[in-house]
Amino acid sequence: MIQPAAEPVTFRSLGQRSVLFLVGAIFGVIGAGILVTDHSIPGILIGAVVAGVGGVLACRGPRTGVRADSRGIAHRALERTRLIPWCQISSITTGQANGSSPLPTDTATLALRDGSTHVLTGMATSTLARRSTSAADDRGQELRTRHALHREACASC
Ligand SMILES: [Zn+2]
């Protein structure tokens, strides 16, 4: 397989990462507060869960993002990181997507060859933010261009 020469590109959402980190930090503090003040079994369990959720949000939240390189799209979401090879992608669309955020967001969605879809929540921007839609469109276009370059060069696509 010939790799098209393209520098890796990373898309992130500053707003999303900040919010996830802040919410995580608040949960962490609340959880720690419960653990320190409540020594009953339910108190310890609830405190541990709240602090644990906060820890995951605070640690992984700031690292969410989407990276495209010669292999494919590496999507680092809150829950896990997944590398989707270009060969598995059939098309890329942009638009409003409902991920884990309670607010509507703009991002790109991958249609995969196995018939499933994969929403790139890691680079979602709030629809309410200025230029959110055009930013999502620009990013989607960049990913489409790279996908097309891959297809031209790939024998197995
Ligand atoms: Zn391919």
Quick one: pLDDT at residue 50?
97
Please tell me the distance between residue 119's alpha carbon and the centre of ligand 1 in angstroms.
20
Query: Any bridge partners for residue 66, and if so which?
Result: 11, 75
Q: Nearest Cα to 57, choosing from 13, 4, 16?
A: 16
Lowest mean pLDDT among 35-44, 97-106, 111-120: 97-106
Q: Model-level pTM?
A: 0.83
Maximum pairwise Cα distance, the chain: 63
Is the per-residue pLDDT at 3 higher than 70? no
pLDDT over 70 (residue 36): yes
Report percent pLDDT > 90 for the chain: 74
Task: Identify the CATH number of the domain defined by range 66-153.
Answer: 2.30.29
Ligand 1 centre to CA of 98 (Å) is 28
Q: Using a CB cutoff of 5 Å, list residues around ligand 1, an ion.
A: 87, 154, 157
**Band of residue 101 on the pLDDT scale cut at 50, 70, 90:** low
